[in-house]
Chains A and B, each alone.
Chain A
Amino acid sequence: MSVVRHDIPLARRRSGREHLVGRALIYLAATLLALFILVPIYLIAVSAFTPPDRAFDFPRSVVPAELNFETIVFFLNAFGVVDSFWRSVIVAMITLVLALLIGAPAGYAIARYAFRGRSGFRLVILSTRAFPIVILAIPLAVTYRLWGINDSVIGVALMHTALALPFTVLITSSVFVSVPRELEEAAQTLGCNPLQAFLRVSLPLALPGLAAAAIFTWVLSWNDVFAAVILTLQNPTLPARILTALTQSPIYFQFAAGFVMLVPSLVVIFFIRKYLLGLWGRVVK
């Protein structure tokens, strides 16, 4: 027997017309909220594709008269931008690999084993979120000078890994929880050892979720500016380069910079959109 929402006794329901008005109001609210998110993205895109010599035209037209890549090209040709762009990409890649290599086993352990200290470890991981990340960068800069990895790609990547690791552990554990452990056990009764069972059964099933976690780690690193500014000097990541250049650069440089930093984020959210609730919802629990 299935009870559909609309089977609620008619006498108790609000009239159909009232319902329609309510629905229309929800659609209106939904649209306004969506415009609040989307319109600024459209405006920065138009700003970034407006040529530099028209950057100060006023009033600006929401429907642009002239669009080209001049501003973007100007930005990419500015001193050090391409270097720091690739540096950011590399830092984010190292962070992704380190965070997954170090964090995923812990996530797997939490998901699969009942052991002493399991809830204690979870608590440690969760409590890291109560500490502002801002406080890590300053002492790490001192330590890095001692280790000789100050102003380096690996130094920034290590800091970003510390930032991402708690998320990676929680997210990967929620991914492995969603892969039925019975499948792994079945593989073991059929003669696989635990490692084979993991590699041949759980890992392939967990792969999409792990990829989503990895992508999110990547964007966490790509977006960081505070740690990067503190830990680098001559070799900044892209956000660090842009931040220190803000005051001396023309406004159209900023528009292009903002847009270039924005694009990967939009792409990333598109790819992990199906996992958003799973990733974050379960992290809470």
Chain B
Amino acid sequence: MTARLGWAPYALLLPSLAFLAVFFATPMVQAFGLAFQSPDGTFGVSSIERMLGDARFRSALLTTVALVVLIIPIQFALAMSMALVINARLKGQGLWLYVYALPLGISELAAGIVWVSIFTQSGWLNSILMGFGIIDRPITWQSAETPWLLIMCVVIAEAWRATSIIMIILVAGLQSIPREFIEAADVYGATTWQKVRRVILPMLRPSLQVALILRTILAFQVFATVIAIAGSGLFVLAREAQRWATDIQNDHIAAAYAGLILVLSLFSTVLFLVLLPTKDEQQL
């Protein structure tokens, strides 16, 4: 039977491959074509140079990298805590998982607005701090004059929104660790911390690697959360790509910004593959 239908799997794959060729591979290549072209159509690095010389470039690059560097460790600490809580099999395990997974479906923009309602001048954070008598007049959290506060606001919003996906990957990874391993550690009197450090983390390495790679790639694309929370107080790479594409309508410089995000993503992927080698690289 298998021999008779030897062509069947290929016929089933064909639509996906064709679609990805047209709508994924082609634009990916075209993006580089655009970036290495000037608006008059001549090839060269003039668009790249214009991007590098753009007044906002330095700030956008630094802010994006700062956000990635701050967001990723915070999210992993949170996701790991959530995953360990789920793995501890509390009462109502499904409910805890559901609550922690809630933000999985929440968009960047919606999450940004949720935290605007908290950080805005007359918002919830100031109201609550006043209520407890911690401050006597509202603090301005979102001001272009204090970019570090703005960055912290974005980091918190992103930690809230995008930790769930890491948590889910880690929970799935934890569940694949044989319970006997942890029981063995119990028998030898390991403390909780020792179990995490010596048994769980090493066995979780493939899941951690996948989650790190995925999340870092996404973090380099941070966009709507920043616009919602920081307005024109912070510039990030994805936002500059969008500004050049829609406001200034120069696709070449927009593509250069997008290409830079791609290069940073690939660089971070390689970095994680080298730093956290696993036996089976096909896990990605």
Interface residues of A, Cβ cutoff 8 Å to B: 5, 8-9, 12-14, 22, 26-27, 29-30, 33-34, 36-38, 40-41, 43-44, 47, 55-62, 101-103, 105-106, 108-109, 112-115, 117-119, 121, 123-143, 158-159, 161-162, 165-166, 169, 188, 194, 219, 222-226, 229-230, 233, 239, 242-243, 246-247, 251, 254-255, 257-258, 261-262, 264-266, 268-270, 273-274, 276-277, 280-282, 284-285
Contact = CB atoms under 8 A, between A and B. Distances in A.
Contact of A273 (B12, B94, B113, B114): B94
Contacts of A188: 1
B187 A132 contact: no
Q: For chain B, give the interface size range.
A: 35 or more
B169 interface: yes
Mostly helix, strand, loop or mixed at chain A's interface? helix
Contact of A132 (B1, B110, B116, B217): B217
B259 A60 contact: no
Contacts of B116: 251, 254, 258
A132 B102 CA distance: 24
Given A27-B90, A142-B34, A246 B228 contact: yes
A165 B179 CA distance: 35
A135 B27 contact: yes
B192 A22 contact: yes
A114 to B, nearest CB: 8
Nearest to B88: A26
Given A33-B78, A251-B120, A140 B20 contact: no
A121 B210 CA distance: 19
B23 A140 contact: yes
21 contacts: A12-B189, A34-B96, A34-B99, A40-B160, A62-B127, A115-B6, A130-B266, A138-B245, A139-B30, A142-B34, A142-B251, A143-B27, A165-B19, A194-B1, A226-B223, A239-B224, A243-B227, A254-B117, A262-B114, A284-B172, A284-B206
Contacts of A33: 78, 81-82, 85, 100
Contacts of A114: 2
B207 interface: yes
A60 B123 contact: yes
Contacts of A229: 242, 246
Interface string B103-144: 111111110111111101111101110110000001000000
Given A44-B117, A135-B259, A284 B207 contact: yes
A131 B265 contact: yes
Given A106-B12, A251-B116, A266-B102, A43 B124 contact: yes
Contacts of B103: 37
Nearest to A13: B186
A169 B12 CA distance: 11
A58 B24 contact: no
A128 B259 CA distance: 15
B81 A138 contact: no
A108 B12 contact: yes
A132 B261 contact: yes
Contacts, number: 321
Nearest to B160: A40
A138 B34 contact: yes
B99 A284 contact: no
Nearest to A219: B105
Nearest to B103: A37
Interface string B170-201: 01110110010001001111001000000000
Contacts of A243: 109, 224, 227-228
B42 interface: no
A88 to B, nearest CB: 11
A246 B232 CA distance: 11
A142 to B, nearest CB: 6
B102 A30 contact: no
Contact of A258 (B78, B90, B114, B179): B114
Contact of B258 (A34, A138, A251): A138
A140 B265 CA distance: 20
Contact of A280 (B30, B168, B246): B168
A26 B169 contact: no
A8 B223 contact: no
A246 B101 CA distance: 27
Contacts of A13: 186
A8 B186 contact: yes
A117 B127 CA distance: 60
Contacts of A106: 12-13, 15-17
* 6 A-B pairs closest in CB distance: A281-B172, A258-B113, A265-B105, A223-B107, A139-B30, A59-B127
Contacts of A269: 98, 101-102, 104-105
A99 B183 CA distance: 43
